[in-house]
């Protein structure tokens, strides 16, 4: 069964409490929270303060995705804000192993994200240290983009790498996830579906989440 992580990048920030309540009452597993700095990606979203408020509304997993440069400067802030999983970008980390160890030393699960152009083989030497690999299925920075088809090959390759090493690392897919392509994503070997517009623009978000959850 898929782990469903609605992306709050697509939530209504004028009525954020209601969207938090909806996700809490749904079958969703994680809150996916995208942090953008306007440097690593061409957009700015929110930081630890907003995550701290969201954390107070839920006991579900807060899955924080940092699309920022120099993430090591802010890891403690996001821990204090309530992150359960903290994901950094391979492309933003000069010393990736050090970043992973820093996150885990503070009691969070460590995630590493890969942009569409980055091969999954880039994680070969640290895969055993990672709890979650987030494969970007769009170019990061904006919601509402179309899924990049080549992502399915990357998922399959990564899943083989994980299985060959006997690891429990989860594969998370972020960008352009829909009810139509979600079965192919899960069949390719992914575990976690990040869904923004698909959930929050739905006429019945809870039912959409329930449909995503049924995918095996």
CB 155 within 8 A of CB 116: no
Asked if residue 174 belongs to a known ligand binding site, the reply is: yes
Under 8 Å CB-to-CB from 187, ≥6 apart: which residues? Answer: none
Read out DSSP for 77-109?
HHHHHT-SEEEEEGGG-TTHHHHHHHHHHTTPE
Residue 34 is among the residues annotated as catalytic for this protein: yes
Phi/psi of residue 120, each to 5°? -65, -25
- Please name the residue that has the structure tokens 């899943």: 159
Asked if residue 27 belongs to a known ligand binding site, the reply is: no
Q: How far lies 121's CA from each of 90, 156, 158, in Å? A: 12, 12, 8
Among 19, 63, 131, 174, the active-site one is 174
Asked if residue 65 belongs to a known ligand binding site, the reply is: yes
Asked if residue 37 belongs to a known ligand binding site, the reply is: no
Among 34, 37, 63, 131, the active-site one is 34
Asked if residue 143 belongs to a known ligand binding site, the reply is: yes
Asked if residue 144 belongs to a known ligand binding site, the reply is: yes
Asked if residue 189 belongs to a known ligand binding site, the reply is: no
CB 114 within 8 A of CB 123: yes
Asked if residue 38 belongs to a known ligand binding site, the reply is: no
Q: Which of 162, 155, 211 is nearest to 185 (CA)?
A: 155
Residue 207 is among the residues annotated as catalytic for this protein: no
Asked if residue 141 belongs to a known ligand binding site, the reply is: yes
Binding site members for substrate: 7, 65, 141-144, 174-176
Catalytic residue numbers read 34, 174
Binding site members: 7, 32, 34, 65, 141-144, 174-176
Binding site members for a divalent metal cation: 32, 34, 65, 174
């Amino acid at each position: 069964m898929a782990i469903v992580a609605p992306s709050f990048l697509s939530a209504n920030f004028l009525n954020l409490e209601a969207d938090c309540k909806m996700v809490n009452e749904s079958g969703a597993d994680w809150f996916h929270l995208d942090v953008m700095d306007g440097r690593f990606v061409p957009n700015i979203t929110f930081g630890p303060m907003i995550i701290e408020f969201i954390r107070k509304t839920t006991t579900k997993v807060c899955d924080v995705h940092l699309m920022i440069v120099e993430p090591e400067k802010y890891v403690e802030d996001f821990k204090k804000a309530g992150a359960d999983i903290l994901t950094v970008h391979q492309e933003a980390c000069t010393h990736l192993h050090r970043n992973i160890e820093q996150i885990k030393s503070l009691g969070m699960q460590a995630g590493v994200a890969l942009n569409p152009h980055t091969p999954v083989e880039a994680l070969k030497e640290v895969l055993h240290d990672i709890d979650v690999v987030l494969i970007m299925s769009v170019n990061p920075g904006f919601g509402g983009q179309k899924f990049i088809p080549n992502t399915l090959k990357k998922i399959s390759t990564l899943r083989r790498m994980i299985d060959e090493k006997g690891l429990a690392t989860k594969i998370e897919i972020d960008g352009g996830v829909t009810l139509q392509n979600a079965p192919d994503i899960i069949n390719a070997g992914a575990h976690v579906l990040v869904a923004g517009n698909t959930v929050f623009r739905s006429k019945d978000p809870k039912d959409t989440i329930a449909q995503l959850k049924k995918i095996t």
